[in-house]
Amino acid sequence: MKTLARKRRHPAALVVLLLLGLLVTGGAYAVTNSLTEAKSAEQDQALIDEGRQLFLEGCSSCHGNQGTGTETGPSLIGVGAANVHFQMATGRMPLAGPAVQAPSKTPEYDEQQIAAIASYIASLAPGPAIPSAADLNTSEADAAEGGELFRANCAQCHQASFQGGALNDGRHAPNLTPVSDQLIFEAMLSGPQNMPVFSDSSLPVEDKQAIIAYINELREAPAPGGWALGSFGPVTEGLFFWTVGIAAAIACAVWIGAKVR
């Protein structure tokens, strides 16, 4: 028994155990996952077919007939339904023409069609799913913690009061004020373009909910100090100062200094 005890303390034992654990949980996950996936695929076969049709008409010219990508569009294998919904519901896709960054515009497809294409893309390979109502329930979320997460993960691109920020070569992180909760969630899941992907393993669902709660808290609260000048910080404050502040002071000077005739 002594040898076994010694072997148990061997450094490699830990690694072996870890691998074993991973294998078991990973395998179990894969099995259950494929089971649910298969079930939903069955249920939604009609939806997928409709999506495939729409995809061939509207997207395949750039993304290829199998969604594997062409020179003018990246592969969509494994991007997930959330990504497709985000890209289409913000009007970024279908892309109208070459651009440094797909512009968002009024969506060309309705929610039903988007759901169809999303499930078609999801049927090609698994990826992040469209967030459920439970995912988007932020009533329990801690907005203050969300603020910390936002400043640590998002503010460097989107600015502290999320008015957006410039990236290189004409790309920019957009203003998040008008974006819906679901789209914020999906943006984090899919990491459009220059934005990093915040997968559920790096930023758990509760953290995503906290971030959304923080964004909502800030954009709904009135500015306590008065007119916020667009929340752009010192630049608009300085602009306001030189156009209104100094001008008012000089107007007073001219008025007081005017000769009495």
Partner 1 sequence: MSKAEELGGGLATFVDERTGSNAWMRKNLNKVFPDHWSFMLGEVALYSFIVVLITGVYLSLFFRPDMTEVIYQGPYVPLKGVQMSDAFNSALEISFEVRGGLLMRQIHHWSALLFIGAVVVHMFRVFFTGAFRKPREMNWTIGVTLALMTIFAGFSGYSLPDDLVSGTGLRIAEGIMLSIPVVGTWASFLLFGGEFPGTDFISRLYGIHILLLPGIILALVTVHLILVWHQKHTQFAGPGRTNKNVVGYPLMPVYMAKAGGFFFLIFGVIVLISALVQINPIWTFGPYVPDQVGAGTQPDWYAGWMDGALRLFPPTEFRLFGYTWVMNIFIPALIIPGLVSISAYIYPWLEAKVKKDDREHHILDRPRDAPTRTGLGVMAITFYVVLAIAAGNDLIAIGFDLSINELIWWLRIATIVLPPIAFLVTRRICLSLQRRDREKLTHGRETGRILRLPHGEFIEVHAPLNADERAKIEAKVDVEALPEPAENDESGVRNPDFKKERRWSKLSGWFWRNNIEKPTDHEIEHGDEHIAEQVELEKPLREIEDKVVIGHDGSTLHHPGQPETNKEQYEQWVKDHPHPKSDPS
Per CB under 6 A, residues contacting ligand HEC are 58-59, 61-63, 72-74, 76, 79, 83-84, 87-88, 90, 92-95, 101-102, 104, 117, 153-154, 156-158, 167, 171, 173-174, 176, 179, 183-184, 187-188, 190, 192-196, 198, 211
Residues 6+ apart with CB under 8 A from 203: 149, 153, 188
At 222, list the tokens. 């009135």
Residue 256 contacts partner 1 per CB under 8 A: yes
The one among 23, 46, 96, 166 contacting partner 1 by CB under 8 A = 166
What is the footprint of partner 1 within residues 7-46 (CB under 8 A)?
none
Q: Which does 246 bind (CB under 5 to 8 A by kind): ligand HEC, partner 1, none?
A: partner 1
Integer Cα distance of 190 and 128 in angstroms: 8
C-beta of 176 vs 213, nearer to ligand HEC: 176
Q: Which does 166 bind (CB under 5 to 8 A by kind): partner 1, ligand HEC, none?
A: partner 1
Integer Cα distance of 48 and 212 in angstroms: 30
Residues 6+ apart with CB under 8 A from 233: 159
Integer Cα distance of 261 and 110 in angstroms: 72
CB of 173 to partner 1, least distance (A): 7
CB of 18 to partner 1, least distance (A): 30
AA letter at 37: E
CB of 193 to partner 1, least distance (A): 15
Question: Please, are residues 82 and 130 in contact by the beta-carbon 8 Å criterion?
Answer: yes
Q: How far is CA 78 from CA 23, 74, 190, in A?
A: 22, 12, 11
CB-CB neighbours of 74 under 10 Å = 13
Residues lying near partner 1 in the complex (CB under 8 A): 100, 142-145, 147-148, 151-152, 155-161, 163-170, 172-173, 214, 217-218, 221, 223-229, 231-235, 237-238, 240-242, 244-246, 248-250, 252-259
